[in-house]
């Protein structure tokens, strides 16, 4: 697969990924405006991803993730974008959590792997902080 040259922006805040039971109401703190919030409800769960400073104590969450935001105009039907970003990270042994929106993609890595992820992605991406 030919790897495109992408521009990635590293969001400044640490991100938390919260888990809730499928029947849980949407908490009001998740509705506050932030630089990045993703809310997904499925038949099995409610998942909320947002700056970890917004997560109250007692909430089941994975913390200390960092987000790379894919910049530029992408069509919703673009093919291979996620694979071209995540395959090199997987080959380097770096786990990812991906969030896609209508306009772009976010690839999250654990804070402890941020420097290695930057090095891997820098080979074919322009990275801005």
pLDDT at 72: 76
pLDDT at 38: 98
Class of 6-128 in CATH = alpha beta
Residues of the chain with pLDDT under 50: 1, 3
pLDDT at 2: 52
Nearest to 71 by CA among 11, 112, 123, 21: 11
Burial 94-108 (b: 16+ CB within 10 A, else e): bebbebeeeeebbbb
Share of the chain above pLDDT 70, in %: 92
pLDDT at 1: 46
Report the C-alpha gap between 95 and 91 in whole angstroms. Answer: 10
Domain-by-domain residue ranges, the chain? Answer: 6-128
pLDDT at 79: 72
User: How many angstroms separate the Cα of 78 from the Cα of each of 3, 5, 67, 127?
Assistant: 13, 14, 20, 21
């Amino acid at each position: 697969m030919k790897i495109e040259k992408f521009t990635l922006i590293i969001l400044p805040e640490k991100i938390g990924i919260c888990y809730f039971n499928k029947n849980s109401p949407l908490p009001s703190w998740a509705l506050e405006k932030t630089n990045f919030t993703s809310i997904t409800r499925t038949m099995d769960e409610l998942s909320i991803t947002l700056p970890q400073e917004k997560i109250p104590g007692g909430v089941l969450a994975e913390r200390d993730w960092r987000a790379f935001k894919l910049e530029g105009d992408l069509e919703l039907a673009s093919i291979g974008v996620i694979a071209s970003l995540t395959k090199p990270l997987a080959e380097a042994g770096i786990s990812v959590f991906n969030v896609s929106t209508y306009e772009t993609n976010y690839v999250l890595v654990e804070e402890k792997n941020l420097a290695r992820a930057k090095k891997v992605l820098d080979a074919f991406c322009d990275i801005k902080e």
